[in-house]
Chains A and B, each alone.
Chain A
Amino acid sequence: MHRVVSLLRTDMAMRIELTPQQEQAVKQGRPVEVVDPASERAFVVVAREFYERGRFLPEGRPEQGPSAPVSPAVPSAAEAEPARVRLCDLPTPPDVLEEAERWCKKYGWRGKKALGEVEEQLKLQYYYGGQAVYILRTDEGPIVVAIGERYRDTPDLRYVLLKPDERPRASLAVPPRWRDTDSEILT
């Protein structure tokens, strides 16, 4: 059964149906991209508490322009363009932190840098596991551009989604699913 979410537009309410998986993701605080079929505009649905937390997380940061990375809770100013999400702005769930510490201990990956890198990998799995994403390298840490459903089969997507200055810093990745239940055989 689908859960219906209403979004306000200037002239009328827009109804969007969430699949059980999307609803689950929203409940877990993960942003979900939905597309209004009438206008083909994309929106990001997040739980209220996550939105409120997300809004105040980047305290003291300058106002973000259309091309700047945005907090996961704030949809991109140019809605046609997928949001740039700073990975460090996404809350680190205690499970992720615990796992990161466990992996570092297991393999002797020492130091804050190593822990930070493992934490990033696990956060990617937690929030974007199983999805194709572009990861942009920046001095402030990775910025994630999720490749939504509507872009799955878009040719030359790198040239469509990313700005010229972003392309050399972008890497395509598919983080494994967080706590996957399916094993993989490549060969």
Chain B
Amino acid sequence: MKVRLPLRPRSVEGIDCPFPVVKLRVRDQYGTLAELDFRVDTQADFTSIPVQTARREGIPFSEGQERTALGLVGETSTYRDQVRIVIAGREYTWPCDFVKAPEPRGPGQQARELLPALGRAGFLHEYAITVGSGYLVITRIDPIRRWLQQRLHGLWKLFGMIHPANRAV
């Protein structure tokens, strides 16, 4: 399975910043599927869904495990649980952080609405993604593809075509 999705146009002060988004269906507490836009974030450990969005969409989660999520711009509290996501007819259960929304900037202001984000845990084990030339490409790593890629990477390593991780690119 391979899907190609055009990046979403976005500009900040006239600078183009297109971003990868994928619509995914999430199992709600009534057993039906709710479709949500997810930003693809390969630097996030876990998939994350704002608490407000989860409650609005009836996505079940437990408030039993409160955790902290760290980012470049600060930290926030999350509830760590699992989410059931359907991709191309396959249902996966992946860890998920249900994130409390950041406080509004000032009195009388509304907190900014945030999209859920698709993180690495679970997702990158099953799928490969590339972003380039205006498209997000999602490819399922089936057993044959996984076997082939492992062999290819072995060959590339043998011929010195794998860049050492401890050297600048």
- A residues sitting closer than 8 Å to B (CB atoms) are 99, 103, 106-109, 114, 117-118, 121-122, 125, 130-132, 147, 149, 151-159, 167-168, 170-174, 176, 179-183, 185-187
Contact = CB atoms under 8 A, between A and B. Distances in A.
A174 B113 contact: yes
B71 A187 contact: yes
Across chains A and B, which 7 residue pairs bring their CB atoms closest together, nearest first? A107-B134, A187-B43, A171-B35, A157-B56, A156-B58, A176-B10, A174-B113
26 contacts: A107-B18, A118-B6, A121-B8, A132-B56, A155-B55, A156-B58, A157-B56, A158-B56, A159-B30, A167-B32, A171-B23, A172-B53, A172-B57, A173-B36, A173-B115, A174-B114, A179-B13, A180-B11, A183-B12, A183-B17, A185-B71, A185-B73, A186-B39, A186-B71, A187-B41, A187-B43
Interface in B3-56: 6-14, 16-19, 23, 28, 30, 32-37, 39, 41, 43-44, 52-53, 55-56
A119 to B, nearest CB: 10
Contacts of A118: 6, 9
Interface of B: 6-14, 16-19, 23, 28, 30, 32-37, 39, 41, 43-44, 52-53, 55-58, 71-73, 110, 112-115, 117, 133-135
B52 A158 contact: no
A114 B134 CA distance: 12
